[in-house]
Amino acid sequence: MDADNNFYTYRNGTKCEICKKCLTMHVDNFDPETFTWILEKFDVPYIPGEWQTILDKAYAADPLKINGLTVLGKYLSKMKLNQWKDARWKDSERI
């Protein structure tokens, strides 16, 4: 696997200075306090309904395989879609 795949990408195209595994080590997908700081770091809004949709699908697929990486990567990717690409962290409450 390419080493770049071990790092999430910021909006400006640069890679995060912390690898995915280390960044998500203490994420509890059911507790926003453990992951919203990461969303703020990547300047994407926290939209609870969107997070929950991804979490529900992952849980339904295999509840034993859910970890910090499971939802965050899919969520960050979803925030790049046209519907959300212009939304920023500061927009979280408005959305």
Q: Is the pTM of this model over 0.85?
A: yes
Domain count along the chain: 1
pLDDT in tens, 60-87: 999 999 999 999 999 999 999 999 999 9
Statement: residue 41 has pLDDT above 70: yes
Give the domain extent around 47: 3-91
Count CB atoms within 10 A of the CB of residue 75.
23
Confidence of residue 2 (pLDDT cuts 50, 70, 90): low
Mean pLDDT of 46-64: 96
